[in-house]
Amino acid sequence: MLKTLFLPTRLTYDGSQLATHWPRRAAGLTGDCLVAFLGPAEVPTENLVDLEDSLAGERIIARRMLHLIGVWFGRSLAETVLRQRLYVFETAEELRRLGVEVAVEGDDLFTPNRDGRKLSVSIATASPLAGLIHLGLNDDPAGAPVPAAGLAGLGIDAEEFGRGLLERLERLERGLAEAAAKVRAVE
């Protein structure tokens, strides 16, 4: 079962946290888990996992983001990409529940009524042991290299939203496991 934790300390996301055992080192969590924290994003080009972005010399910068790092052991990259997309859709639904209109384009969220500014960054990757996801939601997007919106500007408290999102995603994972366990095999 998925373990979740909101870290109380502020951390700078630099890409090194997207590692199989980072949740264990940072929070003592082992196994499938989802860890959230607040802090700046300062990902240099050499730490980008997205090859297109890396070759283009891009980087990720924001004064403050809500970060989610997910690890699922024994999962393929394809399964992890599907989970990433599902999590982005669930995040959009949680924002809509709070009255925020968002558009989903691939694995990114945008604010359509605010000139299409980017609200999130997201990547799925795999290690030899696990599938991994980083989902970052701008809180204060100052410094972002693209037009961006932030949770604070939308009237949303990032920590409260993060804690609620962790609960929503934990329920989702529990529901997926229960749905898979209640069916019989067919020929």
Q: What is the CATH number of the domain that holds 65?
A: 3.30.930.10
Model pLDDT, residue 48: 82
Model pLDDT, residue 59: 80
Gap between the Cα atoms of 153 and 64, Å rounded = 12
* Domain annotation covers residue 186: no
Model pLDDT, residue 15: 94
* Domain annotation covers residue 187: no
Coil, helix or strand for 71?
strand
Residues 6+ apart with CB under 8 A from 142: 62, 63
Gap between the Cα atoms of 103 and 109, Å rounded = 6
* Domain annotation covers residue 107: yes
CB 177 within 8 A of CB 83: no
pLDDT in tens, the chain (187 residues): 899 999 999 999 999 999 999 999 999 999 999 999 999 999 888 888 887 887 787 888 899 999 999 999 999 999 999 999 999 999 999 999 999 999 999 999 999 876 789 999 999 999 999 999 999 999 999 999 999 999 999 999 999 999 999 999 999 999 999 999 999 999 9
pTM (2 d.p.): 0.94
* Domain annotation covers residue 131: yes
Model pLDDT, residue 58: 82
β-strand pairing of 3-6 with 33-43: parallel
When divided into structural domains, the chain yields a total of 1
* Domain annotation covers residue 102: yes
DSSP-derived secondary structure letter, 32:
S
Residues spanned by the domain of 161: 3-181
Gap between the Cα atoms of 168 and 128, Å rounded = 28
141: alpha, beta or left, given left = phi > 0 and alpha = psi -120 to 50?
alpha
Gap between the Cα atoms of 92 and 101, Å rounded = 8
* Domain annotation covers residue 119: yes
